Amino acid sequence: MLKIVIGNKKYSSWSMRPWLALQITGAPFVEILIGLDQPDTAQQIRKYSPSGRVAALLDGETTVWDSLAICEYLNEKFPQAQLWPKEARQRALARSISAEMHSGFGNLRNDCSMKILKTYPPKPLRAETQADVDRIVELWTDCLQKSSGPFLFGAKPCIADAMYAPVVSRFRTYSIPLAGPAQAYCETVWAWPLVQKWAEGAKAEALRAKRYED
């Protein structure tokens, strides 16, 4: 049976992404949750992940680390799940925006860390962080216009939606104002049962990681 190694659901955006993709496949799996910001966190993660980071996917003797690599592996292993759009042009766009999420938006990550259970009053963002928000809204709007939504590439969620789900969480946590298609998309993703399942798991966690809360 597949095993996925993740960090706290309260904080770990990089764990949330492949976890959602794995859930979409419907395949049974074992979840191994390692508490972040603990004295033995690094040691525990390295038992499973060569990079020392979460997430990691264990499939028998095969280990896949890095969130986007895990998503690609799942797409190959479960083609019936259609984790990428079927049409080639849409698939190329979905991969491009997922890769942009994977490698970019550092200002948003640093200024608005994932705290899925928290909500803060709105406050002005640094110009660089606002530019990240604007770019994400631009990407979402373009995809939704092409696909007619409600997810980025049509009626069903795919890897691209899994990649941006933690961003939806951040926008909610920090009360970042949105409008139009971007706001509607956030509402769609937040109502997605798998996202709510992740959030319920976060609520059940007792551990409070000081590094992520302060």
Q: What is the pLDDT of residue 212?
A: 75
Q: Domains in the chain, ordered, with CATH?
A: 2-81 (3.40.30.10), 88-196 (1.20.1050.10)
Q: What is the pLDDT of residue 100?
A: 98
Confidence of residue 206 (pLDDT cuts 50, 70, 90): confident
Token pair for 85:
């759009």
Q: Look-up: residue for tokens 């080639």? A: 88
- Determine the residue type at 175: S
Please give the average per-residue pLDDT across 75-97, as a whole number.
98
CA distance 94 to 90: 6
CA distance 186 to 43: 36
Q: How far apart are the first and last CA of the chain?
A: 37
The one-character DSSP state at 126 is P
CA distance 29 to 12: 19
Angle, alpha carbons 153-159-162 (nearest 5°): 100
The answer on pLDDT for 213 being more than 80 is no
CA 44 to the chain's CA centroid? 22
The one-character DSSP state at 125 is P
Q: Using alpha carbons, select from 71, 115, 99 the residue that is nearest to residue 209.
A: 115
Residues pairing with 6 in the sheet: 33
Q: What is the pLDDT of residue 214?
A: 64
Q: In degrees rounded to 5, what are phi and psi of residue 59?
A: -130, 90
Confidence of residue 208 (pLDDT cuts 50, 70, 90): confident
Summarised one tens digit per residue, pLDDT across range 132-155 is 999 999 999 999 999 999 999 999
CA distance 194 to 59: 22
Confidence of residue 197 (pLDDT cuts 50, 70, 90): very high
Whether 156 and 82 have beta carbons less than 8 Å apart is answered as yes
Q: Which H or E run includes 184?
A: helix 180-191
